[in-house]
Structure 1
Amino acid sequence: MSASLRPLTTRDWPEVRRIYAEGIATGHATFETEPPATWDDFDTGKLAAHRFVAVIDGRVVGWAAVSAVSSRCVYRGVVEHSVYVEADARGRGIGHLLVEAVIASTEGDGVWTIQSSIFADNHASLALHARHGFRTVGFRERIARDAGGVWRDTVLIERRSPVVGGYDEGPDAAASGPSSSTYAEASSRLGSTQPGRTKWHVYPFGMRTR
């Protein structure tokens, strides 16, 4: 049976929390060690207009939501998203449906960038997002320890909307994006090998340390 989507509401919280906890338990979804304790805690951090659940035969099997990355007006078009699918429903295209819903909803609301940080060894999630136009913009090595005390690497990904806030807007449209000279200058500044400093490598759409 195929899945259908609808807005995520308070009535879905028990199932959303269950799926969230299941994802946390895999050790590959997030640094969080437990889901929010209450609906109010979850609701406060998620934008109401862009929350969805996937339902099969009346049962919630996945959810997606977004959060604002900043309260500053200049970042009003940038959000961070989360997608969770229960184990028994994986491999059935539900993740794709949820990501598509988030993209359509946020673009319709004027959002130009959707971003997320994914564990580097979560290949399934990285592949899912690549299929929907997300690109890697950075790699953070040993950024934090997980619940088991293991240092983890994360990959910062983003999807820049082709219809909202595009590079071709405004009088300087000729260069559809940052020029190679921009990267060269950034690389020169960030590639410093001063004692005690991390060396950064800048490449199109991101940076990487080593």
Structure 2
Amino acid sequence: MNAGLRDMVPADWAAVERIYAAGIAGGNATFADAPPTMEEFFVSRIPGLSLVATDDGGAVQGWAAATPTSSREVYRGVIEHSVYVDPAAAGQGLGLLLLHGLAGRARDLGYWTIQSSIFPENLPSLALHAKAGFRRIGRRERIAHMGYGPHAGTWRDTILMEQRL
């Protein structure tokens, strides 16, 4: 597969939502129990930092997007990202392509740090982020209570990963 990388557009939403939902169903991608609406998604993401990876036919196989970490001016260069790959396309390098593309764009836009909180059970994501140049900053213990899926009713830890641009 020859993957391409481009800006996410509203016409991609059905695929983005499907891939997001697949991540949610696995129980180790997010605390969210359902994808947001398209409007909520696009309004909360930083313009220019929502990307999709496509196959050679143009079908969306994965996505990455970033949100501000804080509204405080001192943190204007720090963003938090999400990256999701269609389970059927896992292991083909799309996650790395998305993270490298996101980092390059973020650097060009003046951001200096990208971070993400990852469940410690999500070993593929931790390995992907390490391969992409992220470093493990620490573990946040019992940071939030899981409300759905295989971990419903449990307190979850997250690993904070960071890349300085």
> In the alignment, does 2:87 pair up with 1:87?
yes
- For residue 55 of structure 1, what is the aligned residue in structure 2? 54
> In the alignment, does 2:14 pair up with 1:14?
yes
Name structure 1 gaps, 5 residues minimum: 162-210
- For residue 29 of structure 2, what is the aligned residue in structure 1? 29
Q: Deviation at 1:109?
A: 0.8
SS of residue paired to 2:82: strand
What CA distance in whole angstroms lies between the structure 1 residues aligned with 2:68 and 2:116?
12
Identity over aligned residues, as a percent?
Answer: 52
What CA distance in whole angstroms lies between the structure 2 residues aligned with 1:108 and 1:155?
27
CA offset digits 1:44-75 (Å, max 9, x no partner): 11012111001112211100000011122211
Matches within 5 A, 1:165-180: none
What CA distance in whole angstroms lies between the structure 2 residues aligned with 1:83 and 1:132?
12
- For residue 160 of structure 1, what is the aligned residue in structure 2? 164
Matches within 5 A, 1:94-113: 94-113=94-113
Please, what TM-score do these two structures have when normalized by structure 1? 0.74
Is the radius of gyration larger for structure 1 or structure 2?
A: 1
Question: Bigger shift: 79-88 or 126-135?
Answer: 126-135
CA offset digits 1:4-54 (Å, max 9, x no partner): 111001111111111101100000100100000x21110111012111001
Pairs aligned (count): 160
- For residue 71 of structure 2, what is the aligned residue in structure 1? 71
Matches within 5 A, 1:110-121: 110-121=110-121
What CA distance in whole angstroms lies between the structure 1 residues aligned with 2:134 and 2:94?
17
What CA distance in whole angstroms lies between the structure 1 residues aligned with 2:144 and 2:114?
22
CA offset digits 1:124-157 (Å, max 9, x no partner): 1111111122111121122222221122211011
SS of residue paired to 1:127: helix
- Aligned letter for 1:103? A
- Aligned letter for 1:95? G
Name structure 2 gaps, 5 residues minimum: none
What CA distance in whole angstroms lies between the structure 2 residues aligned with 1:72 and 1:97?
30
- Aligned letter for 1:20? Y
State the 4+ residue runs in structure 1 displaced beyond 3 angstroms: none
- Aligned letter for 1:123? L
Instruction: Let me know the Cα RMSD of the aligned residues.
Output: 0.9
